[in-house]
Amino acid sequence: MNLDKVISGFFIILAMTLNFGFFYGDLADIGLHDKYELFAAIVVNVIATILKLGDRTQMGSVLLATSLVAVIQLIAAASVWTIGINTVGIIDSGLSSIIVSLSGGALLANITSVFLYIGDTLKSRR
């Protein structure tokens, strides 16, 4: 068993599940989406991205690209949330939809990353 692959796979899948946990729920109701879960999703996605930096293969490049997309979109969601709270004082349904939609884009990038990781694992030989 390759410990590096186990750790990398763990963080890739954890990033996706945390992102899904934040994304799931009504777009217009920010009360269904926890800011701490968004923060955890950002942190785990950054860790997953750092773990992908050492891979010099073509698949590693694609996995890194999907991870970077997820991190950028999650940071954008957190930025919209922070700016909305500090300027307006409350997150209305419009801002909530933007925040959740950005996390949905990150979720799609994470799902792509997991599928690519599984495909790469299945095609590799022992």
For the chain, 126 residues long, the average pLDDT of each consecutive 10-residue run is: 86 96 89 93 96 87 95 97 91 91 96 93 78
Q: What are the contacts of 115-124 at 24+ separation with CB within 8 A?
A: 116/59, 116/62, 116/63, 116/66, 117/8, 117/9, 117/12, 117/63, 120/59, 120/63, 121/5, 121/9
Instruction: Please report, for the chain, how many H helices and E strands are present, in that order.
Output: 4, 0
The verdict on pTM exceeding 0.85 is yes
**The pLDDT value given to residue 1:** 72
The maximal CA–CA distance of the chain, rounded, in angstroms, is 56
